[in-house]
Amino acid sequence: MKKQRIRISTTHIILLSFLIAILIGALLLSLPISSANGKPTSFLDALFTATTSVCVTGLVVTPTVSSWSVFGQVVILLLIQVGGLGVITIMSGLMIVLHKKIGIGDRMLLQDAFNLSSLSGLVRFVKKVVAGTLIVEGIGALLYMTVFIPQFGAKGIWISVFTAVSAFCNAGIDIIAENSLCDYALNPVINIVTCALIVLGGIGYIVWWDVLRVLKEARTKKVRFFKALTLHSKIAITASLILIFVGAVLIFAFEYNNPKTIGNYTLLQKMEVSLFQSVTTRTAGFATVPQENLTNASAIVCLFLMFIGGSPVGTAGGIKTVTIAVIIVAAISSIRNKEDTEVFGRQLTKQAVSKATAVTFMSFIIMFTSTVLLSAVTDANALDVVYETVSATATVGLTRNLTASLGNIGKLIIIITMYLGRVGPISLAVAFKGSKDNQNIVRSPIEEISVG
């Protein structure tokens, strides 16, 4: 009798890879050697920390700086790096370094993990992703050292490396203080370097290579920079700039007279802190002002920015800038009764619109369910709960001081939310890529309905 081979889909492999990384991390973090006090950490807290690291979220139940030993911090850093780049990318990178052949199955897996349209140049793409990541993180660490070495001595080197990786991977976990970066709210080096790393990690690797391509072409021939970019890059860059600067302006206006945040700062200082707050909602999770001190208006603006997040094929979470742009453009086209959805003189495919709608719907359902469940097990006010669940769904890491007070059930809810928020959109992307093969299915009859 022939044994049937169990076929595991790409979606399942991606889901399992993140889950296995989380479980391995949790086991390591639960060991006495990982704890600052030399005692075993409860498995639930270790699982929470491993999940927030691999899912590059940043919500923590215990302060990272004081709860973990150097070994524990190294484990957390490795989990952040794995989560930021993706388990599949890390494994492929190791295969390349060890000169192992990457088969067609592995290439297809990478294609789906990065949501790319072609298998050509995939190995080269992975090499560029890994090399580019290490270079940018290295430069960020060197710049951080100009601040942290004078302050912490030799320990500042480790702090700089950890912060650079965490910022680039949009994780928002730090080993500096228990109040995130609040002590550096007015430090220009910390602000500029952190914002740059967050944006570079969140804008997406596809945009990186496209911008470099156009800059290279500009050396030999006259080209208009923005016009020469691909449609994806145009949308990602435009949407990111609009969201960052509109968010900064709104936060500046709503917090201008708030003494608990920026009310006592000078005009330039208020602008600096407002801009950082807007950038960190790109799913980075670092904070230079206590989030619970924000006005309700600013908190709502931040909820919207967090839910959107960064751009595709990067280290950021959220539904992504390109997704919200597609939905807005499709809605405008529908209002104008236009059959085609166009942006920057190019027509979007119906599949892109359907995918954007599905990703947004899935993220909303995860956030809504998590909000209802967390509200049922905690007596925190509604805004704090929603802030927590949106932060977990979009893998942001900002909290209105709620995470540390969660009970065991609340922790489990946030753990599941972070995991689904990280792998959900990836799974949908893979599912849509596979749906192209279903061309010969029997279709049901069409019938009109009333909408709106």
Report domain extents, the chain.
10-430
Mean pLDDT of 301-312: 94
Q: Which pLDDT belongs to residue 127?
A: 80
Residue 119 pLDDT more than 60? no
The more confidently predicted of residues 336 and 300 is 300
> To the nearest whole percent, how much of the chain has pLDDT over 90?
62
**Phi/psi of residue 376, each to 5°?**
-75, -20
* Range list of H helices, 177-295: 188-203, 205-220, 225-228, 231-255, 267-280
Q: Which pLDDT belongs to residue 205?
A: 86
Helical pair 188-203 and 122-152, crossing angle rounded to 10 deg: 170
* Distance (Å, whole) CA 247 – CA 244: 5
Mean pLDDT of 29-55: 95
Residue 431 pLDDT more than 70? no
Residue 1 pLDDT more than 50? no
Contacts of 249 (CB under 8 A, 6+ apart): 274
The more confidently predicted of residues 152 and 348 is 152
Q: Which pLDDT belongs to residue 280?
A: 96
Contacts of 382 (CB under 8 A, 6+ apart): 375
Q: What are 310's two structure tokens?
A: 């960064």
Residue 313 pLDDT more than 90? no
The more confidently predicted of residues 192 and 88 is 192
Residue 168 pLDDT more than 90? yes
For 57-61, 147-151, 351-355, 444-448, which range has the lowest pLDDT when averaged over its residues?
444-448
Q: Which pLDDT belongs to residue 153?
A: 96
Over residues 207-264, the pLDDT tens digits come to 998 899 898 888 887 778 888 898 999 999 999 999 999 999 999 999 999 999 999 9
Confidence bin at 13 (pLDDT 50/70/90): confident
For 37-46, 188-197, 210-219, 403-412, which range has the lowest pLDDT when averaged over its residues?
210-219
Side chain identity, residue 259: P
For 68-82, 122-136, 291-305, 421-435, which range has the lowest pLDDT when averaged over its residues?
421-435
**DSSP classification of residue 289:** S
The more confidently predicted of residues 443 and 148 is 148
**DSSP classification of residue 35:** B
Q: Which pLDDT belongs to residue 140?
A: 97
Residue 63 pLDDT more than 70? yes
Q: Which pLDDT belongs to residue 263?
A: 95
Contact 197, 167 (CB under 8 A): yes
Residue 141 pLDDT more than 70? yes
Mean pLDDT of 89-106: 57
Residue 83 pLDDT more than 50? yes
Residue 306 pLDDT more than 80? yes
Q: What are 34's two structure tokens?
A: 């990982």
* Distance (Å, whole) CA 163 – CA 172: 8
* Distance (Å, whole) CA 259 – CA 28: 43
Q: Which pLDDT belongs to residue 120?
A: 59
Over residues 343-381, the pLDDT tens digits come to 888 888 888 888 899 889 989 999 999 999 999 999 999
Helical pair 10-29 and 43-54, crossing angle rounded to 10 deg: 130
Contact 49, 78 (CB under 8 A): no
Q: Which pLDDT belongs to residue 429?
A: 56
Strands 346-347 and 342-343: antiparallel
Confidence bin at 96 (pLDDT 50/70/90): low
Q: Which pLDDT belongs to residue 378?
A: 94
Mean pLDDT of 292-316: 93
Mean pLDDT of 62-75: 95
